[in-house]
């Protein structure tokens, strides 16, 4: 017999009412499951100090890690997506956009800024995975294109930080066109002899991998990042073969010649600054 009996069923405290651990102060490392305090994460550039796992972060955090004193001018901040196809799945695309904008405080899955890293000018365009899976729609493509124009006009090197599930299905072909558009713009950047560094972070997949993410003068990735084009199940069913273990990790991709370097986020700024210096000479 039990010592006491619960008479009422289904007593549930809503998450907002659980006060012991204020929301967002403690986080569990997704890899080693150890608790990480928010201030420790910031101090350690959002890398788990137990196991070195690189937490997924957004443009706000990357800008703070890379730009000197977190000072930069945001570019093309007001671009937002239209709904050319009047797309609707479980909800209307326009509603999904408004909701996501409200929830994330972002206008779309990318932000661009110009500032200095270690005293050298740099344009950075950085994707945000929180915004519909970092999907590449027309706003992402357009912001990248305009950032490249800004780089060419001012002779400032361009850094692209990719983090994406691929093309945005709600924009269908308009989304796929961004692959050609960004690639063509990068060709112009190259003709103008302005350096382009591509940084692939966890995850970089689909049409993003198949276009601008792999076109850097230098392609670098963060350790352990998932990098691929199609998902493993699709590939397995297509080629009818088992896939090697870890075949879509940054380490595997580097071994097979698609990446130049894997750089720990805690050394990222220093490495990028030295690449920029090298390419400026």
Binding site for Zn ion (CB under 5 A): 29, 31-32, 48, 50-51, 53
Contact 48, 32 (CB under 8 A): yes
Nearer to Zn ion, 53 or 93 (CB): 53
Provide, rounded to whole angstroms, the least separation between the CB of residue 28 and Zn ion. Answer: 9
Give the chain's radius of gyration (CA, Å). 21
Provide, rounded to whole angstroms, the least separation between the CB of residue 119 and Zn ion. Answer: 33
**Half-sphere exposure in the Cβ direction for 62 (13 Å, CA):** 29
Provide, rounded to whole angstroms, the least separation between the CB of residue 252 and Zn ion. Answer: 21
- E-assigned strand segments in 10-98: 26-28, 35-37, 72-75
- Structure token pair of residue 253: 């991709």
Q: How far is C-alpha 6 from the geometric centre of its chain's CA atoms?
A: 47
In sequence order, the 6+-apart residues with CB closer than 8 A to the CB of 92 are: 83
Q: What is the spatial distance between Cα 75 and Cα 5, in angstroms, rounded to a whole number? A: 61
Provide, rounded to whole angstroms, the least separation between the CB of residue 31 and Zn ion. Answer: 5
Provide, rounded to whole angstroms, the least separation between the CB of residue 30 and Zn ion. Answer: 8
Q: What is the spatial distance between Cα 93 and Cα 242, in angstroms, rounded to a whole number? A: 37
Nearer to Zn ion, 41 or 151 (CB): 41
Which residues does the annotation place in the binding site for Zn(2+)?
29, 32, 48, 51
Nearer to Zn ion, 52 or 231 (CB): 52
Which residues does the annotation place in the binding site?
29, 32, 48, 51
Nearer to Zn ion, 118 or 251 (CB): 251
Q: What is the spatial distance between Cα 25 and Cα 36, in angstroms, rounded to a whole number? A: 8
Nearer to Zn ion, 38 or 50 (CB): 50
Instruction: Output the CA torsion sign for 11, 17, 20, 21.
Output: positive
């Amino acid at each position: 017999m039990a010592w006491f009996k619960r008479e009422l069923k289904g007593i549930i405290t809503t998450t907002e009412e659980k006060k012991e651990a204020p929301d967002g102060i403690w986080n569990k490392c997704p890899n080693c499951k150890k608790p990480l305090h928010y201030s420790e994460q910031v101090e350690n550039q959002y890398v788990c100090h137990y196991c070195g796992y690189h937490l997924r972060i957004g443009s706000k955090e990357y800008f703070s890690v890379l730009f000197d004193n977190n000072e930069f001018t945001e570019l093309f901040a007001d671009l937002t997506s239209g709904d050319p196809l009047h797309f609707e799945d479980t909800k209307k695309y326009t509603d999904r956009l408004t909701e996501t904008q409200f929830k994330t405080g972002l206008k779309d899955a990318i932000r661009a800024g110009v500032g200095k890293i270690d005293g050298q000018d740099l344009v950075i365009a950085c994707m945000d995975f929180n915004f519909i899976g970092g999907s590449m729609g027309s706003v992402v493509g357009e912001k990248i294109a305009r950032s490249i124009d800004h780089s060419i006009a001012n002779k400032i090197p361009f850094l692209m930080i990719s983090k994406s599930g691929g093309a945005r299905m709600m924009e269908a072909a308009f989304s796929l066109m961004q692959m050609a558009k960004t690639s063509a713009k990068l060709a112009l950047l190259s003709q103008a002899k302005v350096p382009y560094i591509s940084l692939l972070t966890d995850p970089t997949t689909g049409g993003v991998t198949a276009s601008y993410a792999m076109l850097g003068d230098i392609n670098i990735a963060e350790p352990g990042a998932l990098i691929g084009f199609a998902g493993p199940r699709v590939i397995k069913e297509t080629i009818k073969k088992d896939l090697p273990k870890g075949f879509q990790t940054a380490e595997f991709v580097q071994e097979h010649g698609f990446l130049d370097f894997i750089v720990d986020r805690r050394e990222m700024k220093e490495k990028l600054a030295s690449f920029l210096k090298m390419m400026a000479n």
